[in-house]
Structure 1
Amino acid sequence: MSIVKMIIAKVFVAAIFWATCFVAQAGTEPVIEEAVRGMSSEASQPFITKSPKNGPFKVVVLGDSLADGLYSGLYRLNRKNQKLTIKKASRVNTGLVRSDRYDWNKGAAKIARSGKYQIAVVLLGLNDLQTFRQKGKRHHFQQKGWEKIYAARIEKMITDLKAAGLAIYWVGIPITSPKRYQKQYAYLNTFFRKAARKHKVRFVDTWSPLAGADGKYSPFWRDKAGKRKQIRRRDGVHFTADGYLVFAQFVNNILQRDIREVLQQQAAK
C-alpha cells in the first residue's frame, strides 16, 4: 500500500471511530493528560495485541467496589459505542489479601481461560489494609512478609491475564478524604505501578488528576462549562453517579486511543 493510501486509510478509520466515541462521551470531561503521563506506545506495535474476530472489542472490569463504580461509568460512556463493549466481573468487599472471601488470582485465571475478552481493566486495593494469614503465620500490613505476598499476588494476576493475550489497564486508587487512608493507599499504588512497569501493562494514575488544585482531596469537580458538581460521596472514598463518569473518563480516553491505534494499523495493511 502506498504512503498516501496508508494515510487516507488511517484518517478514515480514525474519523469513524471518534465519531462513534464522541456520541458516547457527550457531556463528559476532555482528555486529562496527567492520567497518561509516563506511558508510551510504539507506533509499530499497538498496546492491544489481541483483536476480536468479529464485532467489538470486549473489555472486562475486575476489582472491588470502586471497580464496580468504574464499570458503571465505562458502560455509560460507551453505551452507543459500537467498537467497544464493557462487562462486569467486579465484586464488592473483595481484594488481594482476603482470598477466603474471593480469590482474585483464581478468578482472573478463569477469566483469562474463557477467551472472551481482549482487554482487562483492574482496580483493587480498598480492602487490602489487612493481615495475611498463611500456614498459621500472620503477616501484618507493610511488613516484609506482607509485601512479598502482596507483590506475588499482583504479579500472578497480571501474568495469567497477559498469557491469554489480554491488554491490561491497572487503575490506581484515587485520592481519598480520610487522611488515615491516604498514605496507605498511596503505598499500595507503588506496588501496582511497579508491577505494571515490570510487565509492561498500563498503569492509570488517578490520584493527582482527581485531587484539587492544591493537590489535596476535593469532593468537587468543575465540568467543561465551569459548573461545579459533587463527584465524591460522604465517605470520601467512593464516587457519586456523576463522579464515576469523571473517574471512568480517565480510563476511557486511554482505551479509545489504544483501540484507535489497532484499527489504524489494520486499515494500513
Structure 2
Amino acid sequence: MKSPRGTLARLLCLGLAVMLAATTFLGSTAEAQQPERRRTLLDMLFGQRQPAYVPPQDVQPPREGKTRKKNSGSVTTIKTRTPTTRTAAAPPPPPKLDTAKKVLVVGDFVANALGDGLKAAFEDSPGVIVESRANGSSGLVRDDFYDWPAALPSLVSEIKPSVLVIQIGANDRQQLVTAEGRLDFRTDPWFTAYGERVARLATVAAETRVPVIWVGLPAFRPQNMTADALRLNTIYRSSIEKVSGEFVDVWEGFVDQEGRFIVTGSDINGQPVRLRGNDGINFTGPGKRKLAFYVEKSARRYLGDMTSPDLVRLDGSNLPELLSLPPSESKAIVTTPPIDLFDPELDGADELLGGTLPPSSSFPTPRDQLVQNGRLPDPPVGRVDYVKRVPATAATTTTPATATP
C-alpha cells in the first residue's frame, strides 16, 4: 500500500514539470512571433551579433502648470484697463416760445397716453406746446362723473389751442342711463343713445372754430373689448366727419397682419419693442410714441412752420451787434448822385445801342433774288455746286442723210 506522502510528492513533481514545459513553450512562441532579422554580409563573415538590450526609460509627462514668460529688464509690461465708453447726455430741449401754438388733448386714459406721446414728438419744436387735459376715468356714458360737452368750451377758451385732439370711449363699455331708463351695453338702443352723445361732443368741438382731430380706439388684449372698439370706431368716424372734422385710425399700429392684438411690435423706427403693458390695455413709452405718430402728421399740417426745430427767440441776447461809425468818419462820407443806367454818356456816346439802323446794302442778297426772281443766283465758278449751263441759242447739229440704194 502506497503512503500518502509519496503520492503528494509525485503530484508536486508532475506539476512543476508541467509548468516548466508551459513556460518553455510560451517563450518559443513569443520568439517565433517576432519578425526575423535579415542576415547581412557582415553577419555571414563575422557572425550574427546579438543586439544590446536597452532597458526602456520611464518618460514622465510634463507637469501642467502656468508658464511664466521671461521678461527682459528693458521692457516693462503694464496692464491697462479698457476704458468704458459713456454715452454723452442728450442736450436739454429748447425752451418754448411765447408765440408757440398749442395742441389740446382731451379724453380718457388713452388720451392721456396720447398726450405724453405728442409731448415727446414735439419736444424739439420750440413753436409747439402740447396741453393734455385728459381725465383717465371719464367717458361719454357717465356724464354724471364728467361732462365733456359742458367742459370742453371752457377748456378751449382758456388754452386757446390751434389744434384740438379727442380720444375717448375706452371706459364706455357699460350701461347707459337715459331719461327712459338704463340701457344695456351692446344693444341697439344703447348704440343709438351713445351715437347721439358722440354727435353732441363732435358738434361742440366744431363750434369752437378749432381744427378737430378725433383719434380712434386701438386694439386691446381682451377679445370682447377689441370687438367693441371696432364697433365704436365706426360711430366716431361718422360723427366727426359730419362736422368736417378729421378721424385718425390707429388700429393697424397695434395688431399683426392677421388683425390680432400684439404686445410687442415695431416702434416708429421699425425696431421691435414692447408697446403695451402687462394688462394689455395701457401703453409703454414706445407705445405712447407710436400712438402719437399717427396723429403727428395731421397736427403738423395744421401747425405749419411752427413745428420746425430751427425756430429761435429773437431778443437782445441773440441779435447780431450793429456796428456804427464814429461821428468823425460819418462826416467824411462822399455822397454820389444816382446814375441812370440808360444814359449813353456813361460810355462816351450820344445815343443808345440800336438807336440807328445799320445801312442797307444796294446789292440784292440771295434771299432777295429768290423772293423777287424765283431763282437763286448762279454759283461761282469752281464751287462744288457749279454746273456749266448751255445757252439756248447754241447751234444745233444736223444729221447727214444717207443715200438709199
CA-to-aligned-CA distance 1:29-83 (integer Å, 9 cap, x gap):
xxxxxxxxxxxxxxxxxxxxxxxxx712211100001111110111111122123
**Structure-to-structure mapping, 1:45-194, within 5 angstroms:** 55-114=99-158, 116-135=160-179, 137-194=181-238
Map Cα deviations across residues 73-129 of structure 1 (whole Å, 9 max, x no partner).
Answer: 111111221232110110011100011111111111322444612211111011101
Amino acid at match of 1:81: S
Q: Distance in 2 between matches of 1:232 and 1:176?
A: 9
4+ residue runs over 6 A deviation: none
SS at match of 2:165: strand
Residue aligning to 1:241: 285
Instruction: Figure out how many residues of one structure are paired with residues of the other and give that number.
Output: 212
Report if aligned partners of 2:205, 2:212 keep a CA contact under 8 Å in 1.
yes
Does the 8 Å CA contact 1:112/1:161 hold for their aligned counterparts?
Answer: no
1:97–1:130 Cα contact (<8 Å) kept: yes
- Opposite residue 160 of structure 1, the aligned amino acid is V
Deviation at 1:223, TM superposition (A): 4.0
The one-letter amino acid of 1:183's match is A
Confirm or deny: 8 A CA contact 2:268 2:293 kept in the other structure.
no
Specify the code of the residue in structure 2 equivalent to 1:252. E
One-letter identity of the residue aligned with 1:253? K
Normalized per residue, the structure richer in strand is 1
- CA separation in 2, counterparts of 1:223 and 1:181? 23
Give yes or no for the alignment of 1:197 onto 2:197: no
State the shift of 1:233 in Å: 0.7
What is the distance in 2 between the residues matched to 1:192 and 1:235?
A: 25
CA distance in 1, matches of 2:249, 2:270: 24
- Structure with the larger RCO, 1 or 2 (CA within 8 Å, 6+ apart): 1
Q: Distance in 2 between matches of 1:223 and 1:197?
A: 29
User: Matches of 1:150 and 1:92 in 2, distance apart?
Assistant: 19
Equivalent residue, structure 1, for 2:339: none
Give 1:226 deviation, angstroms. Answer: 5.0
Change (3 A) 1:215 1:148: closer
In the alignment, which residue of structure 2 is the partner of 1:254? Answer: 298
Which residue does 1:46 correspond to in 2?
Answer: none
Separation of aligned partners in 2, 1:225 and 1:158: 33
Q: Secondary structure at the match of 2:253?
A: coil
What is the deviation of 1:217?
1.2
Deviation at 1:258, TM superposition (A): 3.3
User: How far, CA to CA, are the matches of 2:179 and 2:167 in structure 1?
Assistant: 28
- Identify which range, 76-85 or 66-75, moves more after superposition: 76-85
The 8 Å contact of residues 109 and 157 in structure 1, kept in 2 or not, is answered as no
Q: 1:86 to 1:115 in 2, by over 3 A?
A: closer
Equivalent residues of 1:64, 1:94 under 8 A apart: yes
Task: Choose from 216, 219, 228 the match for 2:263.
Answer: 219
**One-letter code of the match for 1:127?**
N
Q: For the residues of structure 1 that align with 2:161 and 2:212, how far apart are their CA atoms?
A: 11
Amino acid in the other structure paired with 1:164: T
Identity of aligned residues (%): 26
Q: Deviations over 1:136-183 (max 9, x none)?
A: 611222333322321222122122221121111100001111111111
How far apart, CA to CA, are the structure 2 residues paired with 1:172 and 1:65? 13
TM-score by length of 1: 0.72
C-alpha RMSD over aligned residues: 2.3
TM-score where L is the length of structure 2 = 0.49
SS at match of 1:209: helix
Higher-helix-fraction structure: 1
Larger Rg: 2
Is the 1:161–1:168 Cα contact (8 Å) retained in structure 2? yes
Per the alignment, do residues 75 and 261 of structure 1 end up closer, same or farther by CA in structure 2, a change over 3 Å counting? closer
